[in-house]
Amino acid sequence: MWTIHLVIAIQPPYLGLWVFLCAFVVNEPDMIPTATATRFDPITADVEALAASVVDAAFQVHKALGPGLLESVYETCLCYELNQRRIPFKSQVALPIHYNGLTLDNGLRLDMLIDGKLIVELKAVEKMQSLYNAQLLTYLKLSGLRLGLLINFNTALIKDGIKRIVR
């Protein structure tokens, strides 16, 4: 049996404000703190195959165009490549936010949704920011999907611009 222990310490305001919050999971028979990692099933073979096809299509687009163009140009060409391969996808897909029973359409847009199973975010930037990783991870959480590809076309070698994000 697992037990979640919560420790809260609050110092009175006249001594300076601080709050300490700690939560940990303990396996009761051994009383040893353990990690709280969530177990996921592996990425399915069909999603892996989709990801491989998208990466190959991105290689073809980058090989033909090289770096230095706008993101929209790469998106259009990648869409063409995916159509040629008969891979189902949607471009610029609205992603609603569900919060406390409300559905908010806050203008979040996925660059590409491949066969309803894979999110692809495209960039054409000089330097990748950690914000882009966080953005894709948030999209994965909101959509309930597990795998996303972050592809930056503004690199000399496209392999250096592809990042796989798993939730």
Number of domain units in the chain: 2
| pLDDT value at residue 23 | 41
pLDDT at 40: 67
Segment 2-17, tens digit of pLDDT: 444 444 444 444 444 4
Does residue 40 lie in a domain region?
Answer: no
Give the list of residues 6+ apart from residue 80 with CB closer than 8 angstroms, or none: none
Q: What CATH number is associated with residue 93? A: 3.40.960
- Quick one: 137 exposed, middle or buried, by C-beta within 10 A (0-12, 13-18, 19+)? middle
With cut-offs at 50, 70 and 90, classify the pLDDT of residue 90: very high
Based on C-alpha coordinates, what's the Rg of the chain?
21
Q: Does the structure show a pLDDT above 60 at 76?
A: yes
Task: Find the angle CA(90)-CA(96)-CA(100) to the nearest 5 degrees.
Answer: 155
The amino acid sitting at 105 is: D
Residue 125 tokens read as: 């930037």
For residue 151, being part of any structural domain is answered with yes
92 part of a folded domain: yes
Look at residue 18 and tell me whether its pLDDT is greater than 50.
no
State whether 27 and 75 are in the same domain.
no
Q: Are residues 20 and 80 in the same domain?
A: no
Range of the structural domain that residue 147 is part of: 45-166
The answer to whether position 39 is within a domain reads: no
Burial of residue 109, with CB atoms counted within 10 A of its CB: 0-12 exposed, 13-18 middle, 19 or more buried: exposed
pLDDT surpassing 60 at residue 163: yes
Q: Residues 29, 111: one domain?
A: no
Question: Which residue's structure tokens are 């491949």?
Answer: 114
Q: Name the burial class of residue 118, with classes exposed (0-12), middle (13-18) and buried (19+) by CB atoms within 10 angstroms of its CB.
A: buried
Q: What residues form DSSP beta bridges with 113? A: 90, 119
- Regarding whether 86 and 125 lie in a shared domain, the answer is yes
Model confidence band, residue 110 (pLDDT cutoffs 50, 70, 90): very high
Average pLDDT, the chain: 82
Over range 70-85, report the average pLDDT: 97
Shared domain check, 162 and 139: yes
My answer on whether 125 and 63 are in the same domain is yes
Residue 99, pLDDT score = 84
Query: For residue 104, is pLDDT > 60?
Result: yes
Claim to verify: residue 143 and residue 78 sit in the same structural domain: yes
Domain shared by 103 and 153, yes or no: yes
**Mean pLDDT, residues 124-150 taken together:** 95
Q: Do residues 143 and 89 share a domain?
A: yes
